[in-house]
Amino acid sequence: MKRLLEQLNSTPGVMGSMVMTDDGIPVVSLLGDEMNEECVAAFSSTVRLAANRNAEQLDNQHPYELVIEAELGNLLLIHLDGSLLAVMTHAGLELNTGLLEIRSLARRLREILTIRTP
């Protein structure tokens, strides 16, 4: 997993990434010194939980991806079947092309997690 996150972090515009459990416990983290892994994990877990609750009220479908765009950067959250991939990017990242690489690596991470799950 760490190698895949290193590959993801080498994508232009990506500042850091981590895999965490659905309840916000970091599994593998390559966020860099300027980002607090516990804060990112707690925030990401809370956002995902709130999105899931709202989605249940609307159509009972849980979101697969969440994108939070801010002035200084973006937070991308991708569901990995029992885990969550969080990717921090620069504000200037072209989400259409950047998401292709992130989604590709998310699929590979999902496969690894599926193999390791009994």
Any idea what the CATH number is for the domain that residue 23 is in? Answer: 3.30.450.30
Span 42-51, average pLDDT: 89
Per DSSP, the three-state class of 84 is strand
Q: Enter the tokens of residue 18.
A: 């981590």
More confident residue, 41 or 95: 41
pLDDT, tens digit, for every residue of 60-107?
A: 677 888 888 888 888 999 988 888 999 999 887 776 677 788 888 888
> How many distinct structural domains can be found in the chain?
1
What's the pLDDT at 116?
Answer: 57
Helix, strand, coil percent values for the chain (each to nearest 5):
45, 30, 30
What's the pLDDT at 6?
Answer: 93
Range of the domain at 61: 2-116
pLDDT, tens digit, for every residue of 4-23?
A: 999 989 988 899 999 998 88
Looking at every residue in the chain, the average pLDDT score rounds to 85
Span 51-58, average pLDDT: 81
What's the pLDDT at 95?
Answer: 67
Q: Taking every pair of C-alpha atoms in the chain, what is the biggest distance, in angstroms?
A: 41
Q: How far is CA 70 from the centre of its chain?
A: 16
Whole-model pTM: value is 0.85
Span 52-63, average pLDDT: 78
